[in-house]
Amino acid sequence: MKKITKETYLKWYADMLFWRKFEDKLAAVYIQQKVRGFLHLYNGQEAVLAGALHAMDLSKDRMITAYRNHVQPIGMGVDPKMVMAELFGKVTGTSKGMGGSMHIFSKEHRFHGGHGIVGGQIPLGAGMAFGDKYAGRDNVTLCYMGDGAVRQGSLHETFNLAMLWQLPVVFICENNGYAMGTSVARTSFSTEIWKLGLGYEMPCGPVDGMNPVTVAQEMSKAIERARSGGGPTFLEMKTYRYRGHSMSDAQHYRTKDEVEEYKKIDPITQVLDIIKENNYATDAEIKDIDKNVKVMVKECEKFAEESDYPPINQLYDMVYEQEDFPFVEHKF
């Protein structure tokens, strides 16, 4: 694994704080109806992404996930202004305003969505890994899912083929305790989700998903196994979300005390504590990071606000172009 240094912790703190504040801003503008549709926030789960990015080779590895997908592309290198603009439905967004909250996408940075169908990304992730193996590339695909998605039959079909073909893919279940508003214990006889890998003799295990160090360690092992031809891994990241499933979630299924208890192990606070304990940064330097994060979020909002909505003809530009079907003029 790449060494975890002072610079790593400072980057983790700056990145995770930015992701958190970026989405806090999204929550605020959603209430103002500047962002429409559904909005699923990542607050509390940032360590899962921070640790994974430390283990990845961003020059070639891929990522695919479900609809809680705003900060992952930012971590992969997508301009956060474009992500914010996409959520605002503006033409300067990652998909020219046509994808919205649940469908952020960047081919350039190997982030393949944002998928609204529960579990729909699981076979797609394996398919991308198959393509890399078929073409002789040593890329690795990270395929994320929520705890609710593991109830889908497509997961089992995918696991079987991934092991049969020894695909270079890492499957990651972000178990935040609740599939929408239903706890894992109410929908699954076995609450140890990682054990699903045992039925396919797939390397698997649980990971503390609130700590980027443990995430980085286990992800590094899984990515190296995949890259070296050792096949897939299934990791259950035990994490927690501080906000509801989406902005329309009243959260009647859990208490405020439960949320506050999990905030005691907030990944951002954990990293900040280590920075302070080891004197990696002075109080003034930490304040500078905090200030810079606020400025960056404000710049993203300003960019999104001032961008134009897509022109109406773009509706025709975003459909498949067929040469022998000339009835709709293609203008894109």
DSSP bridge partners of 183: 178
Q: The whole model's pTM is what?
A: 0.93
Per-domain boundaries in the chain: 6-331
pLDDT for the residue numbered 326: 63
**6-331: CATH class:** alpha beta
Phi, psi of 236 (to 5 degrees): -100, 110
Would you list the DSSP string of 5-70? -HHHHHHHHHHHHHHHHHHHHHHHHHHTTSS-S-----TT-HHHHHHHHHHS-TTT-EEE--S--S
CB-CB contact of 204 with 198 (8 Å): yes
Residues 6+ apart with CB under 8 A from 100: 36, 37, 86, 87, 89
pLDDT for the residue numbered 327: 63
Provide the 10 A C-beta neighbour count for residue 127.
17
* pLDDT tens by residue, 53-108: 999 999 999 999 999 999 999 999 999 999 999 999 999 999 999 999 999 999 99
Encoded amino acid at 178, one letter: Y
pLDDT for the residue numbered 187: 84
